[in-house]
Amino acid sequence: MDYMYDESGGIKKAFLKLNAESFSTYYDYNPVGQPSRIRQENKHGDVVSDEQLTFDENGHITEVRSLSGARVTYEYDNDYQLRKEKHRNAAGAITLDQSYEYDFLGNRLSKIVGAARTTYTYDKANHLLQQGSLTYTHDHVGNTTSRGDTNFVYNTDRELTEVKRAGATIATYDYNHHGMRTKKVAGSRTEHYYYTGKDLAYITDAQNRIRSSFVRDALGQLMTYTDHTGASPKTYLYVLNHRGDVLGLRDEGGIMVVTYTYDAYGTIIGQTGNGLTGDGRLLREANPFRYASYVYDEETSLYYVQTRYYDADTGRFLTRDIVADTNLYIYADNNPVNFVDPDGRVPIPLIIFLAKAGFKAYTAYSTYKAIKNDPSMKNILLSLMPGGKITRMGGKKILAFAKGNKGVVKAADKKLFRRFDYHFEKHVLGKHGGKKEFRNITRQQYLNRALDLATSRTNSDVVRRTLSGGREATYRHSTKELVIVHNGKDIGTFFKPDKGFKYFQNLK
């Protein structure tokens, strides 16, 4: 995947080649840096997807329109919780009219679909007790232990290890010491999971034969799914929307062979495609990724979100969040249209992923995940979050914060980068004896790329080392870029060393 960026650091164009087919994706932004249109063309210049977004004055999405003319509109309450979603097909006919009501703690009180109303009740600890006629129970630490005739079993780390239905085991799960799921047994099928960083890279069976593999782009977005169960591997291209939902799969000829449709909270409300994998499974079921690019478990209808399991039907996680908040169970602060939760910990605005406009907020979130393993990182987090507080921010406030970071580099931004002007002039303009290794990028883009690398997760492309004097070096193989952070607080330099990875290895 190749990218072109605009002057403010937002993606302008992405190019992907899949065997004989290729696709170009174009991004348009509104004046405050929010993506207003995402259009994809094939190698012949034919538009194969076109998503247009409309926002209100506070930056929240109010309408999403697709190439076919189908559209979804959204309404919010005074706390910017999703109040109503209405889906219309290309002819304008309503296909889903769904509303929500919440209490003052964010618990969903009702979901109204057409004329049908489902009500919810809770105890004082925000435990869900009743969903319509369905009863729930919880253990002493807040884990959901039953949902109707389905029972959930956990280990001492609050990880889901077994699911039973009517007393019979339907699935078991194993995890590594990092808490990542490594194995699932569901019926006669065994799957082992292997990761690059925290991204699922491939799946093997009980005999350790690769059954599926996945490729992501430099931004971590899903690109391709390869089925290895036939006589020869077969690769499919993921089709994603603006928030990372998997809308379908294209074959190597560019034909859409699988489609998925969701409501705002991720319930699958439609799917098509009768194609089979090499071993005879429905392709639409064999593909593990769905809403928000989460892994979907067919046997439980739950999403695996790394640290927790998410039930889209209730808009809640099965277990409590480890980050303190008013309500430890709700998904995306009841605003799934504008927020996404990457790993079950903290919901963050979609604008951050899409436009890089809220880069400081994204950096803060990325750094937050490192705090548990490196307390010294708390300093840089405090410098990035408004008011120096590690808290969740209301939807209205955080979107305004993200939007406010579009444009020129402010003095507060430069404080994160020691002698920013000097390094920009040296490595971009070629002054001070520099070699001008970064060409045709703006000051904001230079800062963004430095911050991005400093907070990137380690994987096969990104490596990190601890140096003397409280410094930390991070190197990206694909771009040959190096950043050095001092005392977990600010950036000392960002450049492309002549000797590349060897230079990184020799740092002391």
**Separation CA 438–CA 104 (nearest Å):** 51
78-102 residue pLDDT tens:
889 999 999 999 999 999 999 999 9
* 450-to-34, 81, 360, 454, 470 alpha-carbon distances in Å: 22, 34, 12, 6, 18
User: What is the pLDDT averaged over residues 463-474?
Assistant: 90
**Separation CA 349–CA 358 (nearest Å):** 8
Q: What is the DSSP letter of 289?
A: B
Parallel, antiparallel, or unpaired: how do β-strands 35-42 and 47-55 relate?
antiparallel
For every residue of 103-132, DSSP letters joined together read -TTS-EEEEEETTEEEEEEE-TT--EEEET
pLDDT at 107 over 80: yes
Q: Please give the model's pTM, rounded to 2 decimal places.
A: 0.73
Q: Which residue has the tokens 């507060």?
A: 412
Parallel, antiparallel, or unpaired: how do β-strands 82-88 and 295-297 relate?
unpaired
Parallel, antiparallel, or unpaired: how do β-strands 82-88 and 189-196 relate?
unpaired
Output the pLDDT for position 371.
38
Output the pLDDT for position 292.
96
Q: What is the DSSP letter of 255?
A: -
Maximum distance among all alpha carbons in the chain? 73
Q: What is the DSSP letter of 52?
A: E
Q: Which residues are CB-neighbours of 59 under 8 A, at least 6 positions away?
A: 32, 34, 338, 351, 399, 400, 402, 403
147-168 residue pLDDT tens:
999 999 999 999 999 999 999 9
* 137-to-153, 320, 381 alpha-carbon distances in Å: 12, 14, 37
Orientation angle between helical segments 395-403 and 359-371, nearest 10 degrees: 120
**Separation CA 352–CA 358 (nearest Å):** 5
Both structure tokens of 390: 């590690």
Q: In what order do the strands lie in the sheet with 302-304?
A: 295-297, 302-304, 309-311, 316-317
17-70 residue pLDDT tens:
877 888 898 988 888 777 899 999 988 899 999 999 999 988 899 999 999 999
**Separation CA 79–CA 69 (nearest Å):** 30
Q: Which domains does the chain have, with CATH numbers?
A: 2-317 (no CATH), 408-508 (3.10.450)
**Separation CA 104–CA 110 (nearest Å):** 13
If pLDDT is split at 50, 70 and 90, which confidence band does 378 have? very low
Output the pLDDT for position 185.
98
- Could you tell me how far CA 46 lies from the centroid of its own chain? 28
Output the pLDDT for position 188.
95
